[in-house]
Amino acid sequence: MLRMSLLATLVLSLCQDAAHAQMSHHQHASEAACEEPTLRCATKVTPAFGPDGTLWLAWMAGGQVSVASSSDAGRSFSAPTQVTTKRLNLDWGPDARPKIVIDRKGGIALAFSIFRDEAFNGQVLYTRSADGGKSFAELKPITANNESQRFEALALDQDGTVFAAWLDKRNRVPAKEAGRKYEGAGLFFASSRDGGATYAEAKLARDNTCECCRLGLTFAAPGRPAVIFRNIFEGGVRDHAVMTFADVSTPGEIHRVSNDDWQINACPHHGPSLTVAPNGTYHVAWYTSGKARKGLFYAHSRDEGRTFSAPMALGQPGRNPTRPYVLASAVGTVMVWKEFDGEKTSVQMMISRDDGENWSPPKTISSTTDTSDHPLLVSNGQQVYLSWMTKADGYRLTAIEDQP
Amino acid sequence: MRRRFAGILGLGILIASAATLGAAPTLKPFERGTWQGVLKGHAGRPTLVHFWGVTCGPCKVELPLLGQFAKDHPGIDVVTISADLVPNLPAATQSMLDKAGLSSTENFIFNDGFVERLRFEIDPAWQGDIPRTMLISRDGTITTIEGSAEMADLEKWSGQQLATH
């Protein structure tokens, strides 16, 4: 009997240990701090300021997309509104995140990707709130086409037009039927004249671009979207290109940002960033592992994205500089990226007062000891903030200090 | 009697747990320190380590070719590591490995939410692009192939490795 009792104790204790291990293991193994749809559990958080200075966040957590707002620069948030009505297989790729823009009337346009089947084919869904984020319209696919779409981006024009761009695999079907090899994905776009309630038919801007990196999208001037993307150049070279549209329905020429010569048949999962200053200067930041250069780089263009300055390396090479983001604002041009020292991730920041000619030395403005989202910059017109979601420390909105 | 019952119940749970675990027999969790274990475990043997992920298009094309390579080269240790972000999908990962003929190789799946740290342990310069293949020779020299590997290059390397034995 004693023997049986010992056995029972042993077995039960083994089970408890296993359960314990499984629980702690689960939290450790997840990118998320927790599994609820709350901001604290989010893995990807995207910020946008509204015209009244309200900060809006859209985030992915617990298989749901939600939004909330803050009128005190991120110190407190409104009760969240869940955009999704059921748990979805949200695109959890490293460069995926919900996108949000707020128009002059306070309308909120939102878009994000899901994996819609077991082969990880993506679908871009969109919705809109016309009541200040209290409720959202039913989710709709941004295009009727059923081939894979991912990496959507949204930008808002001065007149309220919402412009969407994304990567779309539809052209692989006719290529396959014709027995032709199809590389990458098409850069597609559509615009909305009703604040993101409906989008015009999708059109192709450029075929055979790299299929697995985020896009950088902004308006270079009223009516003229500009997009940076990892293109596939001759010979399978995945270097960056910029395209400025003639208007919201007419794509322009592509211009190579830099000849990095990264010939690779792979998913870099590491897209670029683009901002256009009020004076028209394009500022871009990107990652490459090309023959010509490796790492993070910055360049600018003073001729509407036709030619770019020599690439400037960012960060310490031994610290894996990653996820660059650049934003031009009234206070200067700000750039952030992440570095990792083997134990902790820090966000490095530089600022330029002369439109990208000279930059301050890099400065650590935030750090964390567990996994984190990409560092993003957001401006309310007067102040630039770092927006950064971290697993260990939650969401952070950090004002970029004025640099001497 | 109650204790005996508890013991039997406990055993039952244990067996049930083992049966559940048995559903995915070959995927090993890749965590902090696992990389050093892989290097030590294969020290002195030519080893091909392949990083891939279920959402990566080029990986889907390359994986079956690698399965054939593993079959044709029993003298080369083949290790696969699913390096997608966590939480990734063990069932989908296993299914793709099975279809590619890689059921019996040593297969890992990233199992730490802090992927930057996992990647840093493997190669501080690696930013997560997949597919990626590391060829580790008998003397520990590592050659990294970014993107899809050319099977001809793998043949050449394996030929050199097996010839020097």
Query: Per-residue DSSP letters for A390-404?
Result: ETTTEEEEEEPPPP-
Question: Residue B137's closest CA among B65, B49, B51?
Answer: B49
Q: Give pLDDT tens digits for A67-119.
A: 999 999 999 999 999 999 999 999 988 899 999 999 999 999 999 999 999 88
- Digit-coded pLDDT (tens) for B74-126: 999 999 999 986 556 889 999 999 999 999 999 999 998 899 999 999 998 89
> Given this model, what pLDDT does residue A15 score?
38
- Which of chain B's residues have a Cβ under 8 Å away from the Cβ of A29? 29, 31, 86-87, 111-113
Q: Which of A43, A95, A261, A320 to mutate to test the interface with B (most CBs of B within 10 A)?
A: A320
Which one, of A84, A52, A55, A87, lies nearest residue A68 by Cα?
A55
Nearest alpha-carbon partner for B117 in A110, A311, A369? A369
Q: Please give, rounded to a whole number of angstroms, the shortest distance from the CA of A341 to a CA of chain B.
A: 9
Residue-by-residue DSSP string for A106-148: S-EEEEEEEE-STT--EEEEEEEESSTTS--PPPEESSS--S-
Mean pLDDT of chain A: 92
- Classify the complex by whether its ipTM is higher than 0.95, answering yes or no: no
- Across A20-47, average pLDDT: 78
Chain A residue with the nearest C-alpha to that of B87: A30
Q: What is the average per-residue pLDDT within A57-66?
A: 97
Which strands make up the sheet holding A99-102, listed edge to edge?
Answer: A99-102, A108-115, A122-129, A140-141
Cβ(A133)–Cβ(A110) below 8 Å = no
CA-based nearest residue in chain A for residue B126:
A320
CA distance A221 to chain B (A): 34
The whole-number average pLDDT for the span B7-31 is 55
Q: What is the DSSP string of B85-150?
A: PSS--HHHHHHHHHHTT-TTSEEEEE--S-HHHHHHHH-TT--S-BSEEEEE-TT--EEEEESSPP
Report yes or no: A400 and A353 within 8 Å, Cβ to Cβ.
Answer: no
Give every CB contact of residue A164 below 8 A, 6+ residues apart in sequence: A111, A124, A126, A142, A152, A153, A154, A189, A190, A191, A192, A199
> How do residues B134-149 score in pLDDT, each as one tens digit?
999 999 999 999 999 9
Measured between CB atoms, which of B120, B130, B131 is closest to A342? B120
Distance CA A237, CA A233 (A): 5
**Residue B3, number of CB atoms within 10 A of its CB:** 15
For the segment(s) B26-163, the CATH number from 3.40.190.10, 3.40.1260.10, 3.40.30.10, 2.130.10.10 is: 3.40.30.10
Tell me phi and psi for residue A256, to 5 degrees: -75, 135
pLDDT of B152 > 60? The answer is yes
Q: What is the pLDDT of residue B87?
A: 59
Instruction: Please state whether the predicted TM-score (pTM) of the whole model is above 0.90.
Output: no
Domains contained in chain A, number: 1
A266 lies in some domain? no
Do B107 and B98 form a contact (C-beta atoms < 8 A)? no
Residue of B nearest to A35 (CA): B87
SS3 assignment, position A239: coil
Instruction: Tell me which residue in B29, B57, B119 faces A267 most closely, judged by beta carbons.
Output: B57
Strands B132-136 and B106-110 turn out to be unpaired
Residue A370 · residue A343 · CB < 8 Å: no
Asked whether residue A298 is domain-assigned, the answer is: no
Q: Which of B10, B57, B113 sits opposite A211 (nearest CB)?
A: B57
Instruction: Say if A343 falls within a structural domain.
Output: no
**If contacts are CB pairs under 8 Å, which of residues 220-279 in chain A contact chain B?**
263-270
- Nearest Cα neighbor of A128 from A96, A97, A83 is A83
Please check whether residue A293 lies inside any domain of the structure. Answer: no
Domain ranges, residue A98:
35-209
What does the pLDDT read at residue A353? Answer: 95
- Residue A205: φ, ψ to 5°: -95, -40
Distance CA B158, CA A350 (A): 47
CB B7 to CB A370 under 8 A? no
Three-state SS sequence of A245-279: CCECCECCCEEECCCCCCECCCECCCCCEEEECCC
Least CB–CB distance from A14: residue in B14, B115, B125: B14
Stretch A161-183: mean pLDDT: 96
DSSP state of A374: P
Of the partner residues B4, B127, B131, the one whose CB lies closest to the CB of residue A320: B127
B146 min Cα distance to partner chain A (Å): 7
Q: Which residues of chain B neighbour A120 with C-beta distances below 8 Å? A: 54-55, 92
Checking if the pLDDT of B6 tops 50, the result is no
Domain boundaries, chain B: 26-163
DSSP state of A240: E
Residue A156 sits in a domain of what CATH number? 2.120.10.10
Chain B: closest CA distance from residue A320 (Å)? 6
Interface of B with A (CB under 8 A): 3-4, 6-7, 10-11, 13-14, 17, 29, 31, 53-59, 85-87, 92, 111-117, 119-120, 124-132, 146-148
| Cβ A325 vs Cβ A377: under 8 Å | yes
The answer to whether the beta carbons of residues A252 and A281 sit under 8 Å apart is no
Q: Which residues of B touch A28 (CB under 8 A)?
A: 112-113
Q: In chain B, what residues touch A318 (CB-CB under 8 Å)?
A: 124
Least CA distance to A6: which residue of chain B?
B7
Residue type, A242: V
Q: How far A57 CA lies from chain B's nearest CA (Å)?
A: 23
- Calculate what percentage of chain B has a pLDDT beyond 70: 81
Rounded to an integer, what is the distance from CA A237 to the centroid of its chain? 23
Q: Which of B122, B129, B123, B131 is nearest to B149 (CA)?
A: B131
**Does A127 reside within a domain?**
yes
